[in-house]
Every structure is written in structure tokens, then in C-alpha cells.
Amino acid sequence: MKKVIVGMSGGVDSSVAAILLLKQGYEVEGLFMRNWDSDVNNDILGNPGFSSEICPQEEDYNDAKAVCDKLGIKLHRVDFIKEYWDYVFTYFLNELKKGRTPNPDIMCNKFIKFDYFKKEAKKLGANYIATGHYARIENGLLKRGVDNNKDQTYFLSQLSNKQLENVLFPVGELKKDEVRKIAESNNLITATKKDSTGICFIGERNFKKFLENYLPNKKGNIVDIETKDILGTHYGLMYYTIGQRRGLDVGGTKSRLFVVGKNLDKNDLYVSTNEDYLVTTSAKVGELNWIYKEKLNEVTAKFRYRQKDYDVSLDFVNDSEVIVKYPQGVKSVTPGQACVFYNGEVCLGGGIIEEVYFNDEKLSYL
């Protein structure tokens, strides 16, 4: 009998993944990852003065334990707190310092879930690992999950072919409502639990208050990019992303304003009522991870999760960098975000947006 270690997150998706694997005849055990601890991370940072919080992961662990107990499977627990800090959270903070908009979930998959977790599972005698991701692997190809609204291949785009070996995605063939029905029919505590949001493994928090613990606020001006008029005050460029409309502390204007850029040297946040400032026609994408067996030049791309696919052409500079061209124009292509490539249902790979251009001219304010 083949042994599978399931990454039990305390959510409904991993719970149902375990059920499906048991029904398929696998020997199943769970493994819960603890990747965040406020007190430990304060010590790493060298500033123990931050107030401790009750970590949402403890509640998740209790839910995972309840599910495993009900299913009659063993649940292991492992701490990757330092690894998460070194490879995911430090990356997240460094990107914010550059004025970019990072996606830590992608790096969490690359360095934690499909690296350290996989190694830990191997120590436990696993033939396979499984997670609750909405994705599929068929004939060695990474494919979108059947549920288009929940497909998570975007977050798996930095995984190597080696990392995808001996990986199972049991819920990838199901839609979310089907997953919840399976959980309900098995009377699982996670059946109606809402999906987790927020930063991977850190959970839902007041983003501004949370980041104040790790990056100092630096107030600056909110500037109309066309008139150069000062419209208000921002409380740190890291709190804003391109295309954002809400949360702008601008009084006296009834016009709908968009964040269209940042100037790190002047610490200015640029806004405009003109959406044309959000449009770009090409981008330089680095940290390229190409999963598919051959390079393709005409593909589709997502520039953000749950965004629709756009037709793009790829000009490969080298193995780690590509110029992505989309002459039809796309709004809010943002440095720091992932650009992920597809050929139909197949996820080809992806990279991190470094620079954006309009008609081959670099938009420095982005």
C-alpha cells in the first residue's frame, strides 16, 4: 500500500483531500506545518518589544487534529518558522521596501510546502505528498483545476518539475461546492469553515497594523500625476498597489482616483482619474520558471490571480528572463506580482514582473 502524507491546513480542502485518498486505498497520514510565531519572529528580528498575538494557526491545528481524529489517521506536526522567515517573509518585506507588490503565497509553495514539507514527508516514509490545491497533474503536466473560480495553478507556477513529482492534488477534479458537500456528508468540523485569506500562514490581520511591526511607516504626499498637485497624505508606499481605488486619504474630490505609480526617492504616491496611466503593452518578467517541456512563444498569461487570461507573445532573453508583449494593452500590470503562462489548460510556468512598458517605453513611475 502506497503511503501519502497530506498537508493538513485545518481547512475544508485538505480535509476532503484526505478523505478522497483514503477511499482510493492509500495509507494516509497528515502533517501540519507551523510557520509563524510572533514571539519567535520578534526574536529573529532582534526586537522583542512587539505585542504577541494569538496565532490563527493554533486554531487551524485544532481543526486539523479534529478532522484526522475523525478519519482515524495520524497527524504529525512540524515547525518551519525560521525557514518561512528566511525564504518567504524576508522576501515579502524586501519587495515591499522596493515599492513592489509581492505574492508571498507563491514563494511559500516554492520553498516551504513543496520543499521542506516534502523532505519531512519523505522522512515519514511517504511515497507521495498531497495538498488541497485546486490543480491537476496529468502525464507530467500541471493543469488548471476543474473549478475555474478556484484554480490555484497561479500559485504553483514557481515549482520545478522535480518538485511536482510524486504530488497528488485530490480536489483538483472537483468544484468547491462538491468539496463542501463531501465534508458535510462526513460530518467534518471544517465543512462550513470559510476559506483562509490574507498572507500565507499569517492569516487575516489589519495589514497596516501588522506591517508596522516590521517596516517603519514613512508618510508622504499623494500627488496628481498630471497636475503635480498634492491631494493628500499617504502612510507608507508599501500599503498601496497599482490600480487601487480604496483607502486613499484624499479629501475634497468627488472624482474616482486610481493609484498609478510610486516614486521611492521622493516618497510620493501618484494618483489619477485617467485610467490610461494604468495601461501597459509589455513587461520584463524575471525569475522565470518554465515547467513545460518546450518553449512556446504564443501563449496566454495571467498578471494577477483570478484575472482573465490575455493573449501574449514571449521573447525569451535567457533562461531566467522573458519580455512579455501584449499590444492590445492591459491595465494594472504591477512589478512584484507573478506573471503566469498557459497553453489552454496547461500551466507552462511563470515569473515575477520586474518592469513594465508602454509602446516600448519604460514607465518609471511604476
Helix segments in 124-254, DSSP class H: 176-185, 207-212
CA distance linking residue 315 with residue 88, whole number of Å = 29
CA distance linking residue 291 with residue 142, whole number of Å = 8
Pick from 171, 210, 185: nearest CA to 9: 171
Q: Which residue has the cell 510546502?
A: 113
- In sequence order, the 6+-apart residues with CB closer than 8 A to the CB of 228 are none
CA distance linking residue 336 with residue 244, whole number of Å = 15
Contact 231, 250 (CB under 8 A): yes
Helix segments in 163-263, DSSP class H: 176-185, 207-212
Please tell me which residue in 68, 200, 339, 347 is annotated as part of the active site.
200
Active site residue 200: yes
Contact 117, 200 (CB under 8 A): no
Catalytic positions, please?
108, 200
